[in-house]
A and B are shown apart, each in its own frame.
Chain A
């Protein structure tokens, strides 16, 4: 079997073949050794994938977003302020995959501290979209996504705070799952917005997402907000959508302003496929979802401004001393120089925004109000799930945009998260699966399915059935 055909397999297919003796775990893993990374997806890669350990993921190489600490392996979170940082411990998500026999293949490029929707905010250069190198892969898990879509890794993990797994999955034509908040430990995952951050898989099939989630989820004594998924994760089996009700929000759908025709068309086509596969479409209302972005861009920067206070040039990472005798400067000057030179523009912008929103006199008007909007959005979903099993929306309002197209206007970039942010605020699981290629653009379009908290097994089962009905086989030619 050629390395190229091996790399064409999903992890599920590879494990089946390994099970029948048709392929060895070693052969599968080594097909990903030393590949040329034209996409700038990797910030660090293992020279040779080690001999596979036993376990349910034995022989499966995993690309790991560089936001996860890995003992002895550089971890930068895409930031210059952590250049050269070698963590003394490994994130629980990574240890769990390794304990199941998977091998960390590479650390992947990302928007600095997971802040961005295009991977243009990395201190280590843009990641290219494998479908069109002039376009962005989405973000912030752009490196993990591009690696899987471009065949550099069979599976990857990323993090999603407001859409950072689902939006790039949509733009690169792969599957991305943001689990329920708390399903996976955040220990060792460099914090951006702690009440929203969640790890999740980026894969080429829904079955692969389930395969990784089954190992990733679980309560961790090192993260007191982790709960695991009660009942665990069942791998999806073949079936249709009979008996399942899919909620389409009349006030939060493909008809929203800014949704491209390619996205709207494929959204509607997918709704027809749901009905053809036996699913029922029901109208629901999410009247507060449209305010999700505003609430998110208060809450996430506010939490980030506190979390990023730890980067001060004292314990790890960059330190910038003043001119001349370093002992002539004050501690405060050192903090300011280090942070000003270590953080990129978007990170500074969000620290400023968050600090402003939390500052005296503004706290309740911004942060308090945003938290009340958060309650309303969670209530909207709870109401919708009284009438349906899942809520569906487009994942991203647009297909992959050109590099540089949105870098001058921060809010235009933030609009990428329009459909993904409400689920993050409500803490519920949501998956993006490829709906097809846009008729006008020829680029991938994603379809988002969201379920109630801890409904992952059912959500994956439905997404698997829908994936079969869609039958998307597209791969980038580049």
Chain B
């Protein structure tokens, strides 16, 4: 596992994360992420073959509730914080062709 993350990887990950980074930010991010990953990489040397991964610490199984209708947020309230509400909906720019 290579600890060093380069400029191209930063740009690829930024695209996945929907972040637009300036040239300076790309440089800085490559340096900082590499530094962090160098520490984090220490766990790659541990032999954990056969150890079950933990995704959740509390043992819970199928937490269900009764399927009963109840009021939900009304439309005006749901739209009250929207940056561009239009005709009872959230308006967004066109997804475009790209």
Contacts and interface: CB of A to CB of B under 8 A. Distances in A.
A318 B83 contact: yes
Contacts of B33: 349, 352-353, 356
A382 to B, nearest CB: 12
B93 A331 contact: yes
B48 A372 contact: yes
Interface in A143-163: none
Given A224-B60, A332-B18, A335-B18, A298 B40 contact: yes
B39 A293 contact: yes
Interface size class of A (residues with CB under 8 A): 35 or more
Contacts of B36: 297, 349, 353, 410-411, 414
Contacts of B35: 409-411
B54 A331 contact: no
A88 B73 contact: yes
Contacts of A366: 1, 40
B19 A326 contact: no
B48 A195 contact: no
A337 interface: yes
Contacts of B10: 352
Main SS class of interface, A:
helix
Given A349-B29, A373-B48, A313 B17 contact: no
A336 B55 contact: no
Nearest to A320: B83
A56 interface: no
B43 A291 contact: yes
Interface in A332-372: 332-337, 339-340, 343, 348-349, 351-353, 355-356, 359, 362, 365-366, 368-372
Given A330-B95, A372-B48, A294 B53 contact: no
Interface residues of B, number: 54
Contacts of A316: 81-83
Q: Which of B5, B35, B52, B63 has the most CB of A within 10 A?
A: B63
A181 B21 CA distance: 35
Contact of B93 (A89, A317, A330): A330
B45 to A, nearest CB: 10
B5 to A, nearest CB: 7
Given A225-B60, A371-B53, A291 B42 contact: yes
Interface string B55-85: 1111010010100000001000110111110
A365 B1 contact: yes
B96 A332 contact: yes
Contact of B82 (A227, A315, A343, A373): A315
B53 A374 contact: yes
Contacts of B98: 330, 332
B29 A88 contact: no
A314 B82 contact: yes
A327 B16 contact: no
Given A314-B90, A330-B93, A369-B44, A336 B58 contact: no
Interface in A244-303: 291, 293-295, 297-298
A21 interface: no
B57 A355 contact: no
Nearest to B38: A411
B20 interface: yes
Contacts of A313: 83
A171 interface: no
Interface string A306-319: 00010011111111
A348 B42 CA distance: 23
A362 B81 CA distance: 37
A343 to B, nearest CB: 8
B93 A334 contact: yes
B55 A195 contact: yes
A352 B13 contact: yes
B76 to A, nearest CB: 10
Given A181-B57, A327-B94, 7 more contacts: A195-B55, A332-B98, A340-B20, A355-B13, A359-B16, A371-B55, A411-B35
